[in-house]
Amino acid sequence: MPSGTPLNTLLPHFSENVEHILAVKVNNGIEPFDKPLEINSYLEPVLDSSKDGAQVYRRSLCLLLAAAAHKLFPLSRLLCGHSLGSGYYYTLETGKPINKEQIEALEKEMRLLVAKNLPITVQFLSYTDAVSLFEALGRVETRLQLNYFCPPRVKINSLDNFSDLYFGPLVPSTGFLKTFGLLPYGKGFLLRFPQPSAPDELPEFVDQPQLFEIYSRYKEWGKRIGVTSAATLNKLVNERKINDFIDIAETFQQRQFADVADQIAKRERVRAVLIAGPSSSGKTTSAKKLALELEAIGYLPHVLSLDSYYVGRDKNPKDENGDYDYECLEALDIDLLNDNLLDLFAGKEIRIPSYNFQRGERYYEDKNTMKLADNEILIIEGIHGLNDKLTSRIPHELKFKIYLSALTQLNLDDHNRISTSDNRLIRRIVRDSQFRGKSAAETISMWPSVQAGEQKHIFPFQINADAMLNTALDYELAVLKVYADPLLRCVKPTQKEYGEACRLLSFLYNFSPVPPTAVPARSIMREFIGGSAFHY
């Protein structure tokens, strides 16, 4: 076929269900339909039932909502927030909280735009024209970002006389966006979307009030100190004020650890603190920071590792692929753990097991014993910490459960959020390179299985938490960029992880780099970049 052939002309060659194709992978990089094919390429459809397709769909829904809000409320400010219950939380700043009638009007306008099947176009503007456009639209954060990234050609998306910065491929027209809903929530509403497993239906809404409360608290803090977006963070870097902000962010976070320690102290019978959270949420450092706060109010904390309680390879369950499943609850000797905990809380001395990962068996050392005095407390950090089955024989009043989440309150701009999962993945890429010798492609490759484990073993149990701690630091992506950028650039177009690497590079492009020397020695960030004052 001739050079310059648009990708959309090739869709019939992929599948009979063309309506489920949202974009196309070209040499492992995701491209919109109108992209012309210029070189010999390997093509693969991006379906709405895939993770990549879900990202395209959600990003497109956000543009659809922004266009509808601009049409109905042109003088108001639409703000995208964090992920909650298979949706994104939004507020509309009109001087007072948005009401049910306004939300219904927004959804009606969105569905009208879908029914019209309007094109979603991509175009380039000169830098000067882009600045003028976003000034005219009153997009303060977007306009500010153009102060720190000044390309001669600015890529934008357009829909129905509305324009937004381009942050990734979108569907070609509004007719693709049939499955969504708006749900009143808090002082705003949720833009709800389907999951890849069922792209034509909305899942049941599962509320997460504790997570929402933490996000709201951090969002309000961000507003008070004037740092709410990548642009305002970049402004601090440009004005050489970033070190002060790092100190403020670290202090604010440490206050949360102190508050949780005080909550534990108020529940006088607590003998074990159980900490759980998804991958790269900073569990190890969080346990150490909490231990310091507990020591400061008179406790002597001891860390008990769940790794010591593996049942052994001969008894370990296997997954559907026949591999040993070390993440399932049955991989742990729950009876032994509960016996040991009950003995400790009764004032008895126990022998703590150790586990040899090479041989796949448990063993004991005479010197490895433990006994708890009245002012001593256990900290247990592990994937199943919030699952009641892990400590089923331990009375509730003796336990305090903590859920960790890396939930930044920053946005890229008003309409484009920062994904918690992306934040953690970038942390993981940096840590795996620093301490485990893994490439970015290797980490990206195993990330879907990590997320599957989180969905099964961690997220369903966060409702059991007595407290939640936010381990995100609003400056961290500027520091992680220093490490992650060169790692991601090493992923080749021939590797299937290339598209994800390109997406993360485009995401990190929005942040001015901050040298790691600015990060305090006891920061959670040090768990990922190295140089921590804590011993791991």
- Give yes or no for residue 489 having a pLDDT over 60: yes
- Give yes or no for residue 5 having a pLDDT over 80: no
The pLDDT of residue 29 is 85
Q: What are phi and psi of 376, to 5 degrees?
A: -100, 145
- Give yes or no for residue 2 having a pLDDT over 90: no
Report the chain's mean pLDDT, rounded to a whole number.
Answer: 93
CATH number, domain 210-299+375-529: 3.40.50
Place of tokens 């650890």: 257
Contacts of 224 (CB under 8 A, 6+ apart): none
Across 381-408, average pLDDT: 95
pLDDT band at 20 (very low <50, low <70, confident <90, very high): confident
Q: What distance in Å separates the CA atoms of residue 498 and residue 64, rounded to the nearest whole number?
A: 28
The pLDDT of residue 34 is 75
Q: What distance in Å separates the CA atoms of residue 105 and residue 490, rounded to the nearest whole number?
A: 47
Q: Are 263 and 400 in contact (CB under 8 A)?
A: yes
Across 277-299, average pLDDT: 96
User: What 3-state DSSP class applies to 411?
Assistant: strand
Across 12-38, average pLDDT: 79
User: What 3-state DSSP class applies to 21?
Assistant: strand
Q: How many CB atoms lie within 10 A of CB 500?
A: 26
Structure tokens at 148: 């720190």
User: What 3-state DSSP class applies to 3?
Assistant: coil
* CA distance to 200, 330, 392, per residue, from 65 (Å): 19, 45, 46
Structure tokens at 161: 């006389």
pLDDT band at 95 (very low <50, low <70, confident <90, very high): confident
The pLDDT of residue 4 is 65
Across 376-400, average pLDDT: 95
Q: Are 72 and 106 in contact (CB under 8 A)?
A: yes
pLDDT band at 16 (very low <50, low <70, confident <90, very high): low
| H-type alpha helices, 420-511 | 420-436, 440-457, 476-488, 498-508
User: What's the alpha-carbon Rg for the chain, to the nearest Å?
Assistant: 25
- Give yes or no for residue 205 having a pLDDT over 80: yes
The pLDDT of residue 3 is 64
For 447, which DSSP code? H
The pLDDT of residue 419 is 93
- Give yes or no for residue 94 having a pLDDT over 90: no
**pLDDT digits 0-9 by tens, 38-87:** 887 788 888 899 999 999 999 999 999 999 999 999 989 999 998 988 89
Structure tokens at 346: 């009764």
Note if the pTM is more than 0.85: yes
pLDDT band at 426 (very low <50, low <70, confident <90, very high): very high
Sheet holding 153-159, edge to edge: 121-126, 153-159, 162-165
Contacts of 362 (CB under 8 A, 6+ apart): 308, 309, 310, 311, 312, 333, 353, 354, 355, 356
Q: What distance in Å separates the CA atoms of residue 154 and residue 136, rounded to the nearest whole number?
A: 16
Across 341-353, average pLDDT: 95
Q: Are 129 and 181 in contact (CB under 8 A)?
A: no
Domain boundaries, the chain: 48-199, 210-299+375-529
CATH number, domain 48-199: 3.30.980.10
- Give yes or no for residue 485 having a pLDDT over 80: yes
**pLDDT digits 0-9 by tens, 96-150:** 889 999 999 999 999 999 999 999 999 999 999 999 999 998 889 999 999 998 8
- Give yes or no for residue 324 having a pLDDT over 90: no
Q: What distance in Å separates the CA atoms of residue 89 and residue 228, rounded to the nearest whole number?
A: 15
Residues 70/72/74/80 CA torsion (nearest 10 deg): -50
The pLDDT of residue 232 is 97
pLDDT band at 15 (very low <50, low <70, confident <90, very high): low
Structure tokens at 527: 């768990």
- Give yes or no for residue 1 having a pLDDT over 70: no
Candidates 102, 84, 101, 48; CA nearest to 205 is 84
Structure tokens at 159: 């829909």
For 297, which DSSP code? T
pLDDT band at 422 (very low <50, low <70, confident <90, very high): very high
**pLDDT digits 0-9 by tens, 242-281:** 999 999 999 999 999 999 999 999 999 999 999 999 999 9
Contacts of 317 (CB under 8 A, 6+ apart): 324, 325, 328, 330, 331
> Would you put residue 102 in left (φ > 0), alpha (ψ -120 to 50) or beta?
alpha
